[in-house]
Amino acid sequence: MTELKPRMRTLDAAFEYVKHCDPETSLTKYALRQAVVSGALPTVKAGKKYLINLQALEDWMQGGSPAQEEESSGGIRRIDAKAHLQEVRLS
């Protein structure tokens, strides 16, 4: 079985990819940037640039949560503090 290599693109190139795949998309470059900066869309930072995995971008646009894949890797993961506190209070 061949392993697929991630297709990493800069924010501008990822936005152009989305526009190419769906010319009528309502996604703006600003909204994509906000998703990256907020951590909603996982990225790799290379110098000053963010690199976006196109598969993660497609999953995110379809309503999936690409960040869940990172949780199973055994690494450090981000938690939602408010949700965690609510869970603790309920139990």
pLDDT above 90: residue 3: no
Q: Write b or e for each residue in 45-75: b if 16 or more Cβ atoms lie within 10 A of its Cβ, otherwise e.
A: eeeeebbbbbebbebbbeeeebbeeeeeeee
Query: pLDDT tens digits, residue range 11-23?
Result: 999 999 999 999 9
Q: Output the pTM of the full model.
A: 0.64
Residue 36 has pLDDT above 60, yes or no: yes
Domain assignments of the chain as residue spans, ordered by start? 8-90
